[in-house]
A and B are shown apart, each in its own frame.
Chain A
Amino acid sequence: MTDALILHPALILIGGALLLPLLRGAARDAAVLLLPALAMAALWLLPEGRLWQVTWLDYQLAPLAVDKLSRLFATIFALMAFAGGLFALRQPSRLEVPAAYLYAGSAIGVALAGDLITVFLFWEFMAVGSTLVLWSAGTATAWASSRRYVAVHLAGGVILFAGIAGHLLTTGDATFTGMQTDSLAHWLILIGFLINAGAPPFSAWLPDAYPEASWSGTVFLSAFTTKTAVYVLLRGFPGAEILIWIGVIMIFYGIVYALLENDMRRILAYSIVNQVGFMVVGIGIGTEMALNGAAAHAFTHIIYKALLLMSAGAVLAATGRRKCSELGGLFHSMPLTTACGIIGALAISSFPLTSGFVSKSMVTQAAVDGHLFTVWLFLAAASAGVFLHAGIKFPWFVFFQKDSGLRPADPPVSMRLGMILFAFLCIALGVWPEPLYAMLPYAVDYVPYTAGHVITQLQLLLFSGLAFFVMLNYLKRTPTISLDTDWLWRVAGPVFARRFRDVLQATRGSLTGTLSSGLNAISNLITRHRHPSGLLLRSWPTGVMALWVMVMLLAHLLSDFFG
C-alpha cells in the first residue's frame, strides 16, 4: 500500500451494506443516503495510478487502481447507488437495499480493479448481491427466476475463471489490460464477459430475472451487471471486430422482443440488451471516438434506464399491475411519473437536448468516420427502432392508450425525488455535455449540436413515431410472452432430462425382464449344487467313504495284478 489513508470506495459501500441491517428509522435512512455519497467522495479524492499493490502467489495484484475509464464507471455506479437508495427508502424489505449496496460496491470494485483476480472476486460478489436483491422481492416467481439467474451467472463465472487461469498460466501476469482474441483462455474470458453483458445466446437471463424483482429492485438490477460487463470489455477487448456483429445482433434482438412484449418491465429489460448492443458495437469499432461513445453511453444509459424503471416501479407499486394490456390512462392521476417516464423515454431515444443524444451519436459518428457503411445503416435503423420499442411504446401503453380507469396517485416523496434527480440529469447532460465529455477516457473532439445532426436525428425519430401510430393496430398488446433462449433450460432441458430418465427406466425394465429368467436358472443351479444339502456341499456318511476307499484300493490291486 502506498498510502494507508487511502479508502477503497468499494469497501465503504460493501462494509456499509453489512452494517445497514443493524440500523433502524432515521439513522438507517441517513446511512442509505450517506454511504454512496461517502464512496463518491473517497473515489474523487483518489489520485490516478495503481494505489494498492499486493503480491499473492507470485502475482502482482492491484486491488485499487484508478484511471479515467475506471473513475468514470465507479462514479456512475456510486451515483446510481445513491439515486436507487433514495428511490427505495420506503421499500419494506429490509434485505433489498443492503443487498443492492453489496452489489453496487462490488461493481465499483470491478471498475477499480487493476488485476484479473480482483476483477473475478468482485465479479462473483456481484452475482451474490444481485441474487439477494432478486430474493428480497419475496415472490414465488422471483425465487424461481433467481435460481435460473444464479445458475447462469455461476456458469459464466466458471468460464471466466477458466479463462483467467489460462491467461495467468501462459503470461504469468495478472494485470488487467487489453487482450487479443488469440487464445482459448482469452476467448473464455471474452465469453465470460459477454454472458454478463446479455449477449446472445445467453441473453435470456436478463429479461427473465430483472422484471421479477420488487418495484425498486429492478432499478438497481438494471444498472450494474451489464455495465460492468461493458467496462471490462472496454478495458479488455477494445477493437475486437467480432463485437461489432455481436452488438448489432443484440440491438435488433432487443428491439424485436420488446416490440412483442406485454409486460412493461420486460419491455425495458429487452431494451437494456438493445442499448448495451450499441456500446458493444462501439467497443468493437475500437477507435477513440467509438470507445468514448461506448463509455459515455454506458454513463447516460444507467441514468435514463433507471429513470424509466423508476417510473415503471412507481406504477407497479401503485397499481400492482405490470402488463400493458391492463394499464393505460395513468397520466390523469400520475402527472409527475408520466413526465419522468417521458423524459427517460426521450433520453433513451437520443432526442436532442437529452443525454442519449450526446452519447449514442458518438458511436454512430465513429462508424461514419471508419467508413463502415453497413454498420452505419444498422445503427441508423436501430436508432429509429429504439424510439419505436421504448421511446413511444413504453409511455404510450402505460400512461396513455385506452383508459384503464385506474387513478393511482403519484408515489411518496422519496420515490418522487429519485425520479426528479435522474430526470434532471437526463436533460442537464443533454444540454450541457461538457462535464461528461471531460470525464471520458480520451480527449473529445466532437460537437453533438450541429444543425445537420439535429435535423437528421429529428427526421429519423419523428418518422419512426409516425410509423408507430400508423401501425398501432398491429402493436395492440396481447396477454402473451415470446419464447426466448431460456426456453432451452426451462422447457427443453427438463423435457430432455425426463425423456432420458424414462428411457433409462424402460431399458432397465426390459433388461430385468429378459435377463431375469436366465439369471434365475443360473442362480438356481448354483443354489442346487452349493446348497448345504446340494451335491457338492452335503455331508456324506463315513460308511460311504470307507466303501469308496475300498473300491479304489481294489482297483489299484487289480491294476497291479494285471499290469
Chain B
Amino acid sequence: MKPYEHWLDDPRNVKRLWYAFLVVLALTVIAGLFVDLHPHFAIESWFGFYAAYGFITCLLMIVGAKALGLLIKRTDRYYQDDERHD
C-alpha cells in the first residue's frame, strides 16, 4: 500500500469527507424543524426553504454565467493580440 503524501490525497478519506458533508447538510435542514427560525416573509416558513433556495439560485447563477460566457469569453491572449497593433 503506497503511503499518501497527505491524508487528503487518499480517495477513501475524500469519500469520508463527502459523507460527513452530506450528514451535516441533512442536520442543518432537520435542525430547522426544532428551532424557531423567526420567519418574517411567508416563504421563509416553508420547510427547508433556505437550503432549497441556496441550492437552486446557485445552479441558476452557474447556468446564467455559463450562458453569458458563450457571448463574452475570449482567449486570454485577446488584449495582447490587440495591443500589438498599436
Contact = CB atoms under 8 A, between A and B. Distances in A.
B54 interface: yes
Given A331-B6, A483-B72, A451 B36 contact: yes
Given A460-B51, A463-B52, A260 B65 contact: yes
Given A479-B76, A481-B76, A385 B57 contact: yes
Contacts of A483: 72-74, 78
A75 interface: no
Contact of B59 (A255, A451, A471): A471
Interface string A421-458: 00000000000000000000000000000111101111
Interface string A378-418: 00110011001000000000001001000000000000000
A384 B25 contact: no
Contacts of B58: 384-385, 388, 463-464, 467-468, 471
A450 B38 contact: yes
Nearest to A373: B41
Contacts of B28: 455, 458-459, 462
Nearest to A403: B9
B51 A463 contact: yes
Contact of A480 (B29, B48, B75, B82): B75
A372 to B, nearest CB: 10
B10 to A, nearest CB: 13
Interface in B1-50: 5-6, 8-9, 21, 24-25, 28-29, 31-32, 35-38, 40-41, 44, 48, 50
A461 interface: yes
Contacts of A461: 54
Nearest to B29: A459
Contact of A474 (B48, B55, B62, B86): B62
A57 interface: no
B8 A460 contact: no
A259 B61 contact: yes
A508 interface: no
B75 A479 contact: yes
Binding site secondary structure of chain B: helix
A382 to B, nearest CB: 9
Contact of A255 (B35, B55, B61, B73): B61
A384 B51 CA distance: 10
Given A331-B6, A455-B28, A462-B25, A474 B74 contact: no
B5 to A, nearest CB: 6
A385 B5 CA distance: 33
Nearest to A407: B5
A259 B5 contact: no
Nearest to A495: B82
A466 B41 contact: no
A480 B74 CA distance: 5
Contacts of A451: 35-36
A323 B77 CA distance: 13
B68 A459 contact: no
A475 B65 CA distance: 10
Interface string A311-344: 0000000000001000000011000000000000
B54 A463 contact: yes
Contact of B37 (A252, A452, A491): A452
Interface of B: 5-6, 8-9, 21, 24-25, 28-29, 31-32, 35-38, 40-41, 44, 48, 50-55, 57-59, 61-66, 68-69, 72-76, 78-79, 82-83, 86
7 contacts: A459-B28, A459-B51, A463-B51, A463-B54, A470-B59, A480-B73, A483-B78
Given A332-B6, A376-B41, A471-B62, 20 more contacts: A252-B61, A256-B61, A260-B69, A331-B8, A368-B40, A380-B53, A380-B54, A380-B57, A384-B54, A385-B57, A452-B36, A452-B37, A455-B28, A463-B51, A463-B58, A466-B55, A474-B66, A478-B73, A482-B68, A483-B73
